[in-house]
Amino acid sequence: MDEILRLVLPIYFIIYFGLAFVLKSLLVAKKIGKYPLVLPKDDSAFGLIGRYFKLTLIAMFMYVLAFAFFPAWHAIFLPITALEVVAIKYIGLALLVVALIWTILAQKHMKNSWRIGIDNETKTELVTSGLFGLSRNPIFFGMILSLIGLFLSTPNAFTALFLILGYVLIQIQIRLEEDFLMKEHGEKYLRYKQKVRRLI
């Protein structure tokens, strides 16, 4: 099973970030005339969360590469032996697949409102249909699913840390974005917020 994971995980994360973030950002940039990456580089809360997100994603990808190309390092990652069960690893892989499909669908439903960060310059449409009718933050929910999938497929201290840190950063970013959307869309967003759950 670990041999399969060593092959699948790097390919999966290249596809996940390639399709869900890079390709989607390029498509939106072509349509709106500006790149949708709007994370500030200042010392604000938005900028800080953005930097931590980037560092977490880089560390996670480095972990996946180390897992794939240096099997002897497995013990260094402090495996959680109680979860080293083939059935659990398959559940993790299934969650990774679901996360990829879910995230791509959510981005499709978001159309040109897709941003990485908070866009203070361009007014975007409030999306409430598709997966946004089930979750106010379906893309973040997909990211959480992928973190759980990675942890279950390779249960160890490193992937547990990525899951906890990623979850906390996502929860903070969600609240920052919700405050922004409340200011942008007012009563319309409040009605949506009362009707649809934050994650699912």
Compute CA 135 distance to the chain's CA centroid, rounded to the nearest angstrom. 14
Residue with the bigger pLDDT between 41 and 191: it is: 191
The single residue listed with the structure tokens 């399969």 is 4
At 179, the pLDDT band (50, 70, 90 cuts) reads: very high
When mean pLDDT is compared over 31-35, 36-40, 189-193, the highest value belongs to: 189-193
Q: What value does the mean pLDDT take over residues 25-43?
A: 79
**Cα radius of gyration rounded to whole Å, the chain:** 18
Compute CA 15 distance to the chain's CA centroid, rounded to the nearest angstrom. 13
Asked which of 32-41, 59-68, 147-156, 180-189 is least confident by mean pLDDT, the reply is 32-41
Residue 119 has pLDDT above 80, yes or no: no
Compute CA 24 distance to the chain's CA centroid, rounded to the nearest angstrom. 14
Residue 122 has pLDDT above 90, yes or no: no
Query: What is the H or E stretch that residue 52 is in?
Result: helix 45-69
d(CA 191, CA 153): 39
Q: Give pLDDT, residue 27.
A: 83
Q: Give pLDDT, residue 23.
A: 82
d(CA 185, CA 128): 12
Take residue 10 and report the two structure tokens written for it.
């790097």
Domain ranges across the chain: 2-195
The per-residue pLDDT for range 73-113, each reduced to its tens digit, is 888 999 999 999 999 999 999 999 999 999 999 988 988 78
Q: Which residues pair with 37 in a beta bridge?
A: 116
The single residue listed with the structure tokens 């697949």 is 97
Amino acid occupying residue 181: L
CATH of 2-195, one of 1.10.730.10, 3.10.180.10, 1.20.120.1630, 3.90.1010.10: 1.20.120.1630
The per-residue pLDDT for range 124-177, each reduced to its tens digit, is 889 999 999 999 999 999 999 999 999 999 999 999 999 999 999 999 999 999
DSSP-derived 3-state class of residue 37: strand
pTM: 0.91
Q: Which residues pair with 116 in a beta bridge?
A: 37
Question: Are 61 and 158 contacting, i.e. CB atoms less than 8 angstroms apart?
Answer: no
Q: What value does the mean pLDDT take over residues 114-133?
A: 83
Q: Give pLDDT, residue 124.
A: 80
- 197 Rama sector, left if φ>0, alpha if ψ -120 to 50, beta otherwise: beta
